[in-house]
Copies of this chain bind each other. A is one copy, B any other.
Amino acid sequence: MTINTSVTEAVNGAQSLVQTLDNCGVEVCFGNPGTSEMHFVAALDSVPGMRSVLCLFEGVATGAADGYGRIAGKPAATLLHLGPGLANGLANLHNARRANTPIVNIVGDHATYHLQYDALLTSDIVGFARPVSSWIHESKNAKTVAVDAARAVQAARSAPGGVATLILPADTAWEVAEHAVGPIPDSGMAKVSDKAIERSIELLKNGKKTAILLRGAVLHGAGLEAAGRVQAATGARLLCDTFAPHVELGAGRVAVERIPYFAEQITAFLQDIEQLILVGSKPPVSFFAYPGKSSWCTPDGCIISYLAHPHEDSANGMISLAEELKAPAHVERRVPLILPDLPSGRLTVDGVARAIAHLTPDNAIIADESATSGIYLLASMATARPHTHLPLTGGSIGQGLPLAIGAAIAAPDRKVVCPHGDGGAAYTLQALWTMAREQLDVTVVIYANRSYAILNIELMRVGVVGAGSKALSMLDLHNPELDWVKIAQGFGVEASRATTAEEFNDMYLSAMRGHGPRLIEAVV
Which residues of chain B are near A459, meaning CB under 8 Å? 38, 41-42
Does A34 contact B174, Cβ atoms closer than 8 Å?
A: no
Please report which residues of chain A, range 103-137, place their CB below 8 angstroms from some CB of chain B when the two chains form the complex. Answer: 110-111, 113-114, 117-121, 123-124, 127-128, 130-132
Which residues of chain B are near A296, meaning CB under 8 Å? 117
Please tell me which one of the listed residues B46, B88, B94, B120 contacts residue A123 in the complex, with CB atoms under 8 A apart.
B94
Does A44 contact B295, Cβ atoms closer than 8 Å?
A: no
Which residues of chain B are near A454, meaning CB under 8 Å? 35
Q: Chain A 354-385 against B: per-residue CB contact (8 Å), 1 yes, 0 no?
A: 00000000000000000000000000000000
Which residues of chain B are near A131, meaning CB under 8 Å? 83, 123-124, 127-128
Q: Chain A 435-478 against B: per-residue CB contact (8 Å), 1 yes, 0 no?
A: 01100000000000000001100110011100111110111010
Distance of A461 from chain B, by nearest CB (Å): 8
Distance of A467 from chain B, by nearest CB (Å): 5
Which one of A310-318, A393-401, A405-413 contacts B? Answer: A393-401
**Can you name the residue of chain B whose Cβ is closest to the Cβ of A34?**
B455
Question: Counting CB contacts under 8 A, is A36 at the interface?
Answer: yes
**Cα separation A243 to B473 with both chains bound (whole Å):** 36
Question: Counting CB contacts under 8 A, is A270 at the interface?
Answer: no
Please tell me which one of the listed residues B59, B117, B394 contacts residue A120 in the complex, with CB atoms under 8 A apart.
B394
Does B492 contact A490, Cβ atoms closer than 8 Å?
A: no
In the complex, 30 of the A-B residue pairs with CB atoms within 8 angstroms, ordered by the A residue number, are A33-B474, A35-B288, A35-B455, A38-B464, A39-B464, A41-B475, A42-B464, A44-B470, A83-B94, A83-B131, A84-B94, A84-B394, A87-B94, A88-B88, A94-B123, A111-B295, A117-B295, A117-B296, A118-B282, A119-B287, A119-B295, A119-B395, A121-B395, A128-B131, A174-B463, A486-B487, A486-B490, A487-B487, A487-B490, A490-B490
Does B473 contact A482, Cβ atoms closer than 8 Å?
A: no
**Cα separation A477 to B285 with both chains bound (whole Å):** 45
Distance of A519 from chain B, by nearest CB (Å): 11
* Interface residues of A, count at CB 8 A: 99
Q: Chain A 320-343 against B: per-residue CB contact (8 Å), 1 yes, 0 no?
A: 000000000000000000000000
Which one of A50-58, A248-256, A345-353 contacts B? Answer: A50-58
Distance of A362 from chain B, by nearest CB (Å): 30
Which one of A147-155, A224-232, A425-433, A507-515 contacts B? Answer: A425-433
Does A170 contact B39, Cβ atoms closer than 8 Å?
A: no
Chain A interface residues toward B at CB < 8 A: 31, 33-36, 38-39, 41-46, 52, 54, 56-57, 59, 83-85, 87-88, 90-91, 94-95, 98, 110-111, 113-114, 117-121, 123-124, 127-128, 130-132, 170-171, 174, 243, 282, 285-289, 291, 295-296, 393-396, 398, 423, 426-427, 429-430, 433, 436-437, 454-455, 458-459, 462-464, 467-471, 473-475, 477, 479-487, 489-492
Asked, given contacts A41-B471, A94-B84, whether A174 binds B490 with beta carbons under 8 Å apart, the answer is no
Does B121 contact A468, Cβ atoms closer than 8 Å?
A: no
**Can you name the residue of chain B whose Cβ is closest to the Cβ of A114?**
B289
Does A289 contact B110, Cβ atoms closer than 8 Å?
A: yes
Does A119 contact B286, Cβ atoms closer than 8 Å?
A: yes
Does A42 contact B467, Cβ atoms closer than 8 Å?
A: yes
Which residues of chain B are near A38, meaning CB under 8 Å? 455, 458-459, 462, 464
Does A469 contact B94, Cβ atoms closer than 8 Å?
A: no
Distance of A55 from chain B, by nearest CB (Å): 10
**Can you name the residue of chain B whose Cβ is closest to the Cβ of A175?**
B291
Which residue, of A127, A483, A486, has the highest number of chain B Cβ atoms within 10 A? A486
Does B288 contact A119, Cβ atoms closer than 8 Å?
A: yes
**Cα separation A133 to B98 with both chains bound (whole Å):** 26
Does A295 contact B114, Cβ atoms closer than 8 Å?
A: yes
Does A52 contact B90, Cβ atoms closer than 8 Å?
A: no
Which residues of chain B are near A291, meaning CB under 8 Å? 171, 174
Does A462 contact B119, Cβ atoms closer than 8 Å?
A: no
Distance of A199 from chain B, by nearest CB (Å): 24
**Cα separation A484 to B54 with both chains bound (whole Å):** 19
Which residues of chain B are near A482, meaning CB under 8 Å? 433, 490-492
Which residues of chain B are near A114, meaning CB under 8 Å? 286, 288-289, 295
Which residues of chain B are near A45, meaning CB under 8 Å? 467-471
**Cα separation A82 to B200 with both chains bound (whole Å):** 37
Asked, given contacts A94-B84, A121-B394, A130-B124, whether A35 binds B483 with beta carbons under 8 Å apart, the answer is no
Which 5 A-B pairs rank lowest in CB-CB distance, beginning with the nearest?
A: A45-B468, A480-B492, A84-B396, A487-B490, A111-B289
